[in-house]
Structure 1
Amino acid sequence: MYCVRKVTEDLFWVGGNDRRLTLFENIHPIPRGVSYNSYLLLDEQTVLFDTVDWSACRQFLENIEHVLDGRPLDFLVINHMEPDHGASIEEVLLRHPETKVISTEKAFMLMRQFGFDVTGRMIEVKEGDTFSFGGHTVTFVAAPMVHWPEAMVTFDTANGVLFAADAFGSFGALDGKLFADEVDFDRDWIDDARRYYTNIVGKYGPHVQLLLGKAAGILDQIKFICPLHGPVWRKDLGYFIDKYDHWSRYEPEEQGVMIVYASMYGNTEAAANALATKLCEKGMTNVRMYDVSNTHVSYLISETFRLSHVVLASVTYNLGIYPVMHNYLMDMKALNLQKRTFAIIENGSWACKAGTLMREFLENELKNVDVLDAGLSLNSAMHDEAAPDLDAMADALIASMK
């Protein structure tokens, strides 16, 4: 049974949803699943924009045949060759030997690497090339490293549709509501959209800025943003574009404090709770606390991109940083996190080293970060004599926001 939705009068969403997959890219938890978006244009010639993951292929093929209703499929445009979007290319071509494939040189190289035979079907395009399908003319815009090197986006000058590849996407399966204005995006989707961007694309902020710069010249012409995951945008486009601008410049969305603690027996956690309480007493109530051992790092990274200040509270473990806290730091480095203010709480019973090592990591491995001198060093547990240091740490965090 087909499952499609109209985007415009002659453009259809023909993708699929996967609610069984638990880990996106076998790393990131997706408790709400994920959508794989593909779009089919019915012009004088028919055009399919990208395919879907193998898990959604059967539904996808039924959707295509329903919309085509006996017409040939003239073209397949591949904006991004990652397997969650390119895995079904061969199945489409087997059923439609008439189809020509439009993509970039690097994408065709990747098709060959994945074992897809597109010999005799290739139409290679590059930055600035245009192609007409009848009433619709599209322009191809290179988007290298957003987030693979072959990526491009395609802009339809006739209807203002931007086929955005992996830009402007989100985790989360679609529950019938295709458009972002059909959901409460701030309540139900923004956290998944942020976690998707920061963990999948976050490292490549300068490349996203380059793409946003290219798009700036046609912002008034863009009427729809059609990503490869998540809802389609047809209203309030500036809201989501602004989020991408903040994230890709590594600017925090909000002034607030994220306290991430690593605690073996509860003593470091108690100090973190005391700091959170002290901050709220002093008027800084935008505080979030996370146990690094029980929170998947993708959520930690997303929150780190959202908030301006991060407190790292860690026990010393084998004369080093607690392993899962160290993993979190390594993910910050891998995803190019910067422009944050940090404070440190350390704990140790006989050799308190975590604080020194975390400071060295922050100052030597991350870019454009500040580490506050006001911190807290504990020997096994926090006692009354540590109260002045706790108070000073809260004051320093609040003062640094002004």
Structure 2
Amino acid sequence: MNEVMLAKDIFWVGKIDDREVPFHRLILAKGTTYNAYLLKTEKPTVIDTVDLEFGREFVEYLSELIDPKEIQYIVINHTEPDHSGGLAALAGRAPDATIVCTEIAVNELKEMYKLHSRNFLVVKDGDTLDIGGKTLKFKETPYLHTEETMITYCIEDKILFPCDIFSTHVAGKEFFADEAGYDITEDFIGYYNAIIHPHRRYVRTLINALEELDVQMIAPSHGYILRNDIQKYIDLYATLSADTVEGKKVTIVYTTIRNSTKKIAEYLKKIFEENNIQASVFNADKSDQAEILESIKEADAVFIGSSTKYADMIGNLEDLLKELKKMDLQGKIGAAFGSYGWSGEATEVIQDYLNQTNMDVQSTSHVIKTTGMTHVEFPVRVRFAPKDDQLKKIEHSATYVADLLLSAI
């Protein structure tokens, strides 16, 4: 393969996979590429690697450009194996290289590739690294599309290495979008919809990060490298991730023992209202059932919660849930929540009732299978009173539903 140079001393060292590739429960009919980059500076640096399947091939090709023993830094923007999969093979051939990543990524990489004895450099948002003639700047972009993700920017060459972001799944013979021979916009948007859109809320973090960077080239981890019309592609992400639906309503119903479940309900309401979604909260033991049911009829999403007592729900909630089974709730989102001390069966009982309706009932299993997110949980279960990390868990679940309500592809 001929050398592919992005700028002085910066080379593409990835892998073209022109098969029909199974990926995220999709079949990539146009194949894909796993883009990695070598910066041949005074302190030679590799940014990202390739899929696990091609680790040996990756190192062999890289060795044509540099002796791997000379490599001093390996930057891993994202730990998913289609990006970090070549790390084990490369680390073995580059024994003195320091692995650069976010704090969350360290343990993941150690466990995935048995790198417990390797030297890691943890970088935080805004940190820079002098690699001898070039300077790398790092920006954290969590949940695009996993929590440990970051992007890397070469200050001198104004090149952004954003990993999955701004990618396309195309195994083209040309490496640069302007040489593809066609308008790649459809492929670009298709990738966004399949991979990034479920995480659209976090695109705002990306857009904010880019405001302080003068990006003249985008070198992603899949597909075409972008060197023309850069602002067009950035604007597309901003447009595609913007809220597109207004006037949505959520009904939140709960019963509580010591107000812990009430606090969850109130925090859910707060998060929805911060997202310009009208939220109505009802205590099922104090509100008129007919009023609650009418609110549910008008709502776009319904959250039902209870404290747990003797392995069950409390108060009048079960009577309400029995009524829901008789209603046509097609098109509404349903979710269960609750607090507990010794055990937390109430949320699961509510989940069982919700699953007997025709609502789109949220579950952790469904979220993981459709988005890969592991930080969003349904039902939302909080032990004792919600605080600190538990409030963050509630927020993740509420914002996930808010995004479902506010966006449309």
- Structure-1 separation of matches of 2:95 and 2:402: 55
Q: Which residue of 1 aligns with 2:253?
A: none
Aligned CA distance change for structure 1 residues 91 and 149 (closer, same or farther; 3 Å):
same
Matches within 5 A, 1:2-401: 2-25=1-24, 27-68=25-66, 72-175=70-173, 177-186=174-183, 189-218=184-213, 221-251=214-244, 366-368=404-406
- Structure-1 separation of matches of 2:38 and 2:167: 18
Q: Secondary structure at the match of 1:131?
A: strand
**Unpaired runs of 5+ in structure 2?**
246-330, 332-356, 361-365, 372-400
Q: Is the 8 A contact 2:62 2:68 kept in 1?
A: no
Q: Secondary structure at the match of 2:70?
A: coil
Structure 1 length-normalised TM:
0.60
Q: Is the 8 A contact 1:4 1:63 kept in 2?
A: no
Q: What is the CA-CA distance between 1:87 and the residue it aligns to? A: 1.0
- Structure-2 separation of matches of 1:120 and 1:365: 40
Counterpart AA for 1:227: P
Q: Secondary structure at the match of 1:135?
A: coil
Counterpart AA for 1:203: P
Q: What is the CA-CA distance between 1:246 and the residue it aligns to? A: 1.3
Q: Secondary structure at the match of 1:233?
A: coil
Aligned CA distance change for structure 1 residues 100 and 31 (closer, same or farther; 3 Å):
same
**Unpaired runs of 5+ in structure 1?**
253-311, 313-319, 324-329, 336-362, 371-402
Q: How many residues align?
A: 264
Give the RMSD, CA atoms, in angstroms: 3.0
Q: Is the 8 A contact 1:48 1:75 kept in 2?
A: yes
Aligned CA distance change for structure 1 residues 20 and 183 (closer, same or farther; 3 Å):
closer
Q: Is the 8 A contact 1:3 1:59 kept in 2?
A: no
Aligned CA distance change for structure 1 residues 105 and 32 (closer, same or farther; 3 Å):
same
Q: Which residue of 2 aligns with 1:305?
A: none
- Structure-1 separation of matches of 2:26 and 2:131: 38
Q: Is the 8 A contact 2:14 2:35 kept in 1?
A: yes
Aligned CA distance change for structure 1 residues 172 and 74 (closer, same or farther; 3 Å):
same
- Structure-2 separation of matches of 1:222 and 1:22: 30
- Structure-2 separation of matches of 1:94 and 1:214: 34
- Structure-1 separation of matches of 2:132 and 2:402: 56
Aligned CA distance change for structure 1 residues 123 and 107 (closer, same or farther; 3 Å):
same
Q: Is the 8 A contact 1:80 1:86 kept in 2?
A: yes
Q: Secondary structure at the match of 1:68?
A: coil
Structure 2 length-normalised TM:
0.59
Aligned CA distance change for structure 1 residues 46 and 246 (closer, same or farther; 3 Å):
same
Aligned CA distance change for structure 1 residues 131 and 217 (closer, same or farther; 3 Å):
same
Q: Secondary structure at the match of 2:405?
A: coil
Q: What is the CA-CA distance between 1:54 and the residue it aligns to? A: 2.1
Q: Secondary structure at the match of 2:160?
A: strand
Q: What is the CA-CA distance between 1:222 and the residue it aligns to? A: 1.2
- Structure-2 separation of matches of 1:115 and 1:48: 17
Q: Is the 8 A contact 1:17 1:56 kept in 2?
A: no
